[in-house]
Structures are given as structure tokens and as C-alpha cells.
Structure 1
Amino acid sequence: MSPDTSPLERRYRRLLRLLPATHRTARGEELLGLLLDLDHGRRHPSWHETLNIIALAIRLRLTTPVTTTALTTGLTALLVAAGTQPAGHTLDLFTGAVLATDMSAIIASWPQLVALGLLPLAPLIAWLCGAPRTALTLQAIFLTVTVGWFVIDVLNGADLGINPGQQLFAYAPPALTVVLLAIAARERWTAPRPRLFWWALVPLGILAWKGTGEWGRHGVYVPDAVPTVIGILTAATVAVGAGLAVRRHRPAVLIGVGLAGFIAGWLIPDPLLSNTAMQHFDGQPLPLAVLITVIAATMAGLKHLARRLKPEVRSLPPDGPVMR
């Protein structure tokens, strides 16, 4: 950068680094000139243009193939984990969660219970069928009803001993799902492939929630070291993956980021890990969604690696001699 560069230009160049490199190469100088003309005579970028650059950077980075694949995979995993939870609990209700002496009341109201258990599957089914706007509408309705019931209970004096942190953690997955579905509807995203894998996860997710209900009734003891080990392994794995994604200075990035991830995983408090990694047994869908995302990402990575290692099939020219 030239020493004669104005402070405004230097600050705008730093802001433009938020944009993807390909966009900066193609239109960076043109955009810089336009911004300098709009803010001529100023020393600092205006708030309006700064927010416009940030919004443009977010939108451009959301449309990259890697980001789109990652977000659609996480969104589908959230829908599977949250959508199959009520159905799994309903199945558990009829297969062991209630004593035989109390089953008469459950059997008498089975249509309502089954309907309430299957209705949350609607956004997932709509999303897998390629209807993101329908999935967004249904998910927004369910979130509004759930939050409305909670607000009514609070206004009526119920749940006076609620924990705000737990409530925030409980409503975070459905709220995040609504935000991702809104982006998906705007950007016309579709469910990741292969679709058969995600359709197969619907009954498997229901059985998983049924299984955790059975497991929880017998008392599950989780050693204190387990959350710490999970945190260390997860942070180190993510760090190594980030290092592999960097093209330059790969060994240094692997060592530096790997050590930083390892230390970060070690420093994460046990209560936080216990409330995230182990809350799947208390009805929280987020850990199951993380597990599904990791499995899907691993399958995609192995598929990509197998495609790269697969030898190319070379065919002989039509009239070429055959070597013996």
C-alpha cells in the first residue's frame, strides 16, 4: 500500500477484506472507487456504507458452495433431531414409559397424542421434499405456539422457578432453525444429498429418542471426565480440519491451531459441556443434531477422498493399437 494512501482508503481496504477473494479481485477496485466518491472528504467510513459492506460480505460468503453445503447439512440435522423428538417420546409413551395401571388414560387419548407427536415432523418432511418456504412457515408456527404457551404460563404464575439460561438453550435450536430456513427460502437452498440418507434418519431418529427414554429411566451415570475428553477431542478435531483447509503454511497452521484448539477444549468448563454434550438425555435436540452433522460431514469427506483417489479410467483411441 502506498504511503500516500488516504486514511479513508486504508480503512475501506480493510473493510473490503471481509469480501471473498474472488469478488475482491473482480470488483474490489471498482467498489473501492465508488465508496471513496460517496464518502469524499471523510476520514472514517460512514456507518451506512460500513453496514452495507458487512451485509454484502455475509451474503456473498453464504452463497459459496462450501458454506451452502455446511449450512444445509446443519439445518437438516437440526430438523431431524428436533422433528423426531416428539415422535420418539410418543413411541416411548406407549412402549414402557407409563405403568400398566395408568395406560387406560393414555390409550383413551391416543389420537391426540399421536397427532401431537407426528405434527413436528411436518417441517422436516417439507424441507426434504424441496419446499423450504412451506417448511419455514410450519417451523415459524410451531415456534410461535411454543413461545406463546411459555409466555402464558409465566403470566399465569406458573414456572416461577424457571432457569433463564436453560430456557434460552431450549429455544435456541428452533429459533436457529427458523433463521436458517429463512435464508434457505431466500437463497433457494435445497436439502443435501443423498436424500435417502436423510429420509433413513427419520425412523432412526425416532428410535434414538425412544432409546434415550429407556436408558434415562434406568439411571445413567456419566463420569466427570467424559465431557472434558469430548471437549478436547472435538476442539482438536475442528482445529485440525481448519488447518487442513488452509493452503499456505499448512504445517505451522496445523500445529498452532491444533494446540490452540486442544487448550480451548481443556479450558471449557465442565458445567457447560455437561449442559450441552450430555443434555440429549434430558430432551435437548442440539447434541443429536451435532452428532448427525458430524456423521454427514464424515461421509461427505470420505466420498470426496475416494473420488480423488479413484484412478482415472483411460480409454484407447478407436483405431489405436492394443499393447500386449
Structure 2
Amino acid sequence: MGEQGVSNLERRYRRLLRVLPKWYRQDREEEMVGLFMADRSDDLDLEHSWPGWGETGAMLGLAVRTHLAAGSGLTQAPAKVVWRGEVVRALGMLGLLLSVFYAGASLTSMFYAYNHPEIIGGLTWLRVFDVAPVVAFVALVNGRRTLAKLAALAAVLPAFVMIGQSGHFWTWLVYQLPALVTFLCLCLGFHREAPTPPARRLGWWALGALLLGLAGGLATGTGLLVIGLVTLIVRVVAFVRGDVVLGRALSLFALLQLAPLVFPLIGGEILIFVLPLAVLLLLTVVAPIRKPSARLS
């Protein structure tokens, strides 16, 4: 036993509970510690044991669900916690729609490569992973969250293989930030208590992104400019409607897209579409956000 009758095991459990938000621990910490310590009376056990891997994993999962609460899940969660979870989920969906756009552009590129192998070297098996975002989107709106997360991971794996083979690690990493952040947002935001995204409404956006990608694959930069313009327009609409969740998600979404543009701007490359796109995204990032209302819309 340690000082004041508190065992090392109890201290370790309380330290583990710190991954939970303070508002959640205030009401449930003592109850949870009591459940953990039930039937643990052996002095050797109390002195030298640690929380098990299963308990640690369950606690980390609970930490994600409480820090990024869903509106219909933890009813006692503070409003800012619910907003935070909604922003993460909205950012994940925006990133997934952008990935669907890139999947469309990749399909056009693969079709062209198949018909012109002498020009661009033909196809490689890694290009199959380019269409994984479409699988991830369809799976997510149908409630198949594990499949959606695996497909989103498959979309970024080839890029990281190429990163490891290149001599420009940080440059490649910046270019992969949107896809990587999308994957993380899907994993963290769409936990088991989070609502399933509305398939019908988002389906039209996904179809538009896919068609835009198919067309954009024929004219490099055109589709990206349209995406930047749409992002700015929706950002303005979100401000007018007072939709703080969508507004904040769009600002972060634009910032993720803006980061890779720094390199061509510095090098003076393809400024024909890079500079206008950077201006559109910068306007989206700095556009004002209304203060959230008392309840989440």
C-alpha cells in the first residue's frame, strides 16, 4: 500500500482515467475506480499490478467518444464538446468528398494511361488504391464504418510507400495531409455512438465530386479551381446561416488544401491555376465565423 492507504494499482487506474474529459470524470471517476478495484485485495497485486490491455483499450475508446461526443450519445456532454465532435465528422466528410474528386481524376488518368502506354508508361497495380475513397464513402453512408476506415487507410498507404522511397519526405507528407487527416477524422469522429451521415444529401455531393474529378482529369487545375470556388461559396453560406460547425470544418478543410500549394508557389511553378486557387482557399480560411448559439443546429 502507498501513502494514505492508496495502492499503486489504484493510482495507476486514476492516472489512466485522466484520458477522459474532466466533466465526465467528475461524476463517474469514483464509481469507475470502485469497479476496477473490486475483488482486488491481494497486497502483491495492489502493489505491482497495472491496468490490463483490455481495460486500457476500452478506456481509450471511451475517451474518444467523450471528447468527440455525438448529439444523440452523451446527453450531458457540454455544448462545446458536441460541436467539436461535429466539426471532426464534418471535416472527415469534406476530406472524403475531396478524395472522391481525386478518385474521379485518377480514373480518367488510368483510362488515358491504358490507351497511351507509350506516353506515360502505362498502369501500375498501385493505381487500384486510387478508387478506395469511393468505397470508403459508400461504406460510411451505409453504416459500414469499419470498412469505410479500412478503405480510407488503403487510399493513403501507397502514398506513404512512395514517401519512403523518395528523398523528399516532408514535401510528400504535406501533400498527403488532406488524405491523412481525413482518415484520422473518420477513425476518431465516427465512433459507435456517432450518427450515420445522411446518404441521400451527401450522395449528390459525392456524385458531383466524382464527375468533376473525371472532367478535371482531362484539364489539370480546372477541377481544383472549381473545388476552391465551391468551398468559398459554401463557406459564405455557412456564415450567413450561422452554421458554426460547417464553417469551422470548411476553414480547416481549406487550410489543409492550402498547405501543399506553398511549394509550387515558392518555386514559381504552374501559377496559372495555383495562385487563384491559393487566393480562394486563403479567403475561406480567414472568413469570419459566427459565435455558436446555445444549441447545435
| Structure of greater Rg | 1
TM-score using structure 1 length: 0.44
TM-score using structure 2 length: 0.47
